[in-house]
Amino acid sequence: MSVTHVPETDVLRRQDPELAEILLGERERQASTLQLIAAENFTSPAVLAALGSSLANKYAEGYPGARYHGGCEIVDIAERIAVDRARTLFGAEHANVQAHSGSSAMLAAYAALLRPGDTVLALGLPDGGHLTHGSPANFSGRWFDFIPYGVDAETGLIDHEQVRTLARGHRPKAIVCGSTAYPRHIDYAFFREVADETGAYLIADAAHPIGLVAGGAAPSPVPYADLVCATTHKVLRGPRGGMLLCGGELAERVDRAVFPFTQGGAQMHTIAAKAVAFGEAATPAFSVYAHQVVANARVLAAALEAEGLTVTTGGTDTHLITADPAPLGVDGRTARGLLAAAGMVLDCCALPHVSGADVTAAHVRGLRLGTAALTTQGMGEEEMARVAALLAGVLRDEVESRKAREEVRELALAFPPYPG
Ligand SMILES: *Cc1c(COP(=O)(O)O)cnc(C)c1O
């Protein structure tokens, strides 16, 4: 897939040059800057082909063999393949691959297990919880009574004693484990034990690490959680979408919670693309990739720390790093802007050791970055060291922005995400 020879884009260019320019511009942006956003990745050309296929035209409410629409005999096979591949890949008795996104999967998980007003224990938002873990701006915070647990302010690690105490005190209907910003493995066995002791369901929101799980580079929540929610577009490298995994006894409730309770027609082109991604994730090459993602993140975290940034928890087990740039004289929001100008694209985040100090700015104190996309491009540990040096040079104002942008472009172009 090259930038110059894409028939689909040629068709679009003839019919709608305005939009064609935007597609090409975005492709060029992705190829010439460094995608350090922890939740992003590059799908394969095969996944993109499924996404851009005629399956996008098909209405398919319901499930394979039980649809509300005619003409589903072929897309039924696509969904059965996706479900079978997901079950095999993750060792789950049941998989639902229809959830439109990670948030939709969480909505369906709550719909399957809870009633409005139920109490739920989840990681607090300032400590790395997701919007769907009880944000007042989200349905979760409006419809359920969320009790937040946190991370230890010094170590940045989940405060297990607090989880146990809160669970005993509040007797939640469900406990959620999983995060948008936690760089370490989650101790699923611990959460299972607390859930059993207090009579709660355990929901694992593995949106971030599920790709590492697929590649054998992170522990699996599947044997421990009643329900696992995930995305397919982060480290897993599939199309933008969600999925749920569970045991046989919850299968029907989960399916009904997705359709018809929270969604209408399934997106069959996305489901086909999920099947392609699950196929890719089952290969030895993907396992090598997942382990390289973690190796790269470890090197990048160590290099950032050596450059003077404070890396939360002192490192990472995963693809994800959060760090405080304050020792270099900038806060997260300023750092994100300086780095964006240099072509290094990443997010701000809250930091455990400064949350509370200044509540209004607390959520933009830190930087959150990941190695999934760079690793897909073929970058290794040597490139991570270079990225850390460039990043720190920009933040310390040692490298001029134009020069940094040129160096970033040169590095990115040496590892094209879609070569050929
Ligand atoms: C990314 C993420 C989600 C939601 O994903 P969307 O597809 O953006 O809705 C849910 N939970 C966690 C922990 C995440 O990191």
Residue 131 and residue 204 in one domain: yes
Confidence of residue 4 (pLDDT cuts 50, 70, 90): very low
User: With contact defined as beta carbons under 8 Å apart, do 388 and 303 qualify?
Assistant: yes
Among 200, 156, 155, residue whose Cα is nearest residue 177: 200
Asked if residue 300 and residue 271 are part of one domain, the reply reads no
Q: Is residue 22 part of a domain?
A: no
Q: In this structure, what is the dihedral angle of CA atoms 31, 36, 37, 41, given to the nearest 10 degrees?
A: 50
Task: Report the Cα 374 to chain-centroid distance in Å.
Answer: 15
Residues 249 and 293 in one domain: no
CATH number at residue 372: 3.90.1150.10
Same domain? 296 vs 257: no
C-beta of 39 in contact with ligand 1 (< 6 A) = yes
Which of 281, 314, 345 terminates a domain? The answer is 281
Q: What is the pLDDT of residues 333-385, one digit of tens each?
A: 999 999 999 999 999 999 886 655 555 566 788 999 999 999 999 999 999 99
Q: Residue 67 above 80 pLDDT? A: yes
276 & 289 share domain: no
User: Of 59, 253, 386, 409, which is the active-site residue?
Assistant: 59
Residues 146 and 205 in one domain: yes
Q: What is the pLDDT of residue 394?
A: 97
Question: Could you tell me if 74 and 215 lie in one domain?
Answer: yes
Same domain, 270 and 181: yes
Structural domain span for residue 314:
284-413
Chain centroid to CA 122: how far?
Answer: 17
Active site residue 198: no
Q: Is residue 207 part of a domain?
A: yes
pLDDT at 309 over 80: yes
Please indicate, yes or no, whether the overall pTM of this predicted structure exceeds 0.85: yes
Atom of ligand 1 nearest to the CA of 241: 7
Domain count, the chain: 2
Name the nearest CA neighbour of 107 among 209, 205, 3, 234: 205
The residue type found at 252 is: E
Q: Is 130 a pocket residue for ligand 1 (Cβ < 6 Å)?
A: yes
CB 132 within 8 A of CB 101: no
Q: Closest Cα to atom 10, ligand 1: which residue?
A: 102
Domain boundary among 251, 281, 311: 281
* Residues 169 and 110 grouped into a single domain: yes
How many secondary structure helices (H) and strands (E) does the chain include? 16, 15
Residue where a domain terminates, one of 246, 281, 316 = 281
Which residue puts its alpha carbon closest to atom 2 of ligand 1? 207
